[in-house]
Copies of this chain bind each other. A is one copy, B any other.
Amino acid sequence: MTIKEVSEKFDISQDTLRYYERVGMIPPVTRTASGIRDYQEKDLGWVELAKCMRSAGLPVEAMIEYVKLTQEGDSTIPARLQLLTEQRETLLEQKAKIDTTLERLNYKIGRYEIAVKTGVLTWNDEE
């Protein structure tokens, strides 16, 4: 699969795909004899994982570390377990913050909906 096809399949720019590989966020991609990227199933798996992690907001740095550990063999399994557990923790924290903010937004939206419907502001404290 060419970089163009992968780019379209995952909606990630070609530049970003090259960037991910360059910084080590995914392992080196399979190449043709002339040096052109030819993504195999395993490469696609890494791209998909990278996209998933990034879309949740996990730092590129964490994926780089994870990829590095996987390249070093089975002895790094405990380290990988710890890394993933830490990332899970940050996602749970982030989710909690989002929930707090969502409640805040819901409250405000409710107030504004009443204001729009009735033409009257029903509160006077902080906006």
Which A residues have a C-beta under 8 Å from some C-beta of B? 42, 45-46, 48-49, 52-53, 55-58, 66-67, 70, 74, 77-78, 80-81, 84-85, 87-88, 91-92, 94-95, 97-102, 104-106, 108-109, 112-113, 115-116, 121, 125-127
Q: How many copies does the complex hold?
A: 2
A97 smallest CB distance to B (angstroms): 5
In chain B, what residue has the closest Cβ to A46?
A: B126
**In the assembled complex, which residues on chain B have CB atoms less than 8 Å from the CB atom of A46?**
126-127
Which chain B residues border A70 with CB–CB below 8 Å? Answer: 127
Q: Are B42 and A101 in contact (CB under 8 A)?
A: no
Q: Are A126 and B94 in contact (CB under 8 A)?
A: no
